[in-house]
Amino acid sequence: MMILRCPAQLQLLEEILRKSLPTTLPVLGTVMTVARGNPASHEVLVDSWPHFGVVLTRLCPEDHRDPRDYYTNQLSVFYRDKGALQALLEGTEAVTQERAFQILGMQDGLDEAVKEVASARGLKVE
């Protein structure tokens, strides 16, 4: 995963996400906030750039104080490719098993993908 910090990249991502509203809404708000100064200390991650398959937004890891607090460990996701989403959930450090978290997204299939990965790891999904 790569963290987007460049204002030009964030601007381009914002334009791309606007074309897919309303499914991009959970991540678009954070992308706009980060592009305009990032007062809430979020970060925007993509699997590749500029042709991304998945966008993930979250609080910066140094702001994760309590690994049991699923609210501060909240992730928002938009994906173009379900395989990229599953790869994100299975194999990256962007989503770890050591922390309770919640994933927000508006796409069909997100809940199934999360349950499949959790089941494979022997984890409980609420």
Residue 126 lies inside a defined structural domain of this protein = no
How much is the mean pLDDT over the chain?
83
Residue 31 lies inside a defined structural domain of this protein = yes
Q: What is the pLDDT of residues 45-82, one digit of tens each?
A: 998 998 999 999 988 877 666 666 666 677 888 998 88
Q: Which residues form the domain of 95?
A: 2-121
- pLDDT(120) > 90: no
**Share of residues in the chain with pLDDT > 90 (%):** 37
Q: How many folded domains does the chain comprise? A: 1
**Higher model confidence: residue 58 or residue 122?**
58
Residue 21 lies inside a defined structural domain of this protein = yes
Q: Report how far residue 18's alpha carbon sits from residue 21's, in angstroms, rounded to the nearest whole number.
A: 5
pTM of the model: 0.82
H helices within the chain, ranges in order?
7-18, 25-35, 82-91, 110-121
Q: Are 55 and 44 in contact (CB under 8 A)?
A: yes
Q: What is the pLDDT of residues 6-17, one digit of tens each?
A: 999 999 999 999
Residue 28 lies inside a defined structural domain of this protein = yes
Q: Report how far residue 105's alpha carbon sits from residue 56's, in angstroms, rounded to the nearest whole number.
A: 10
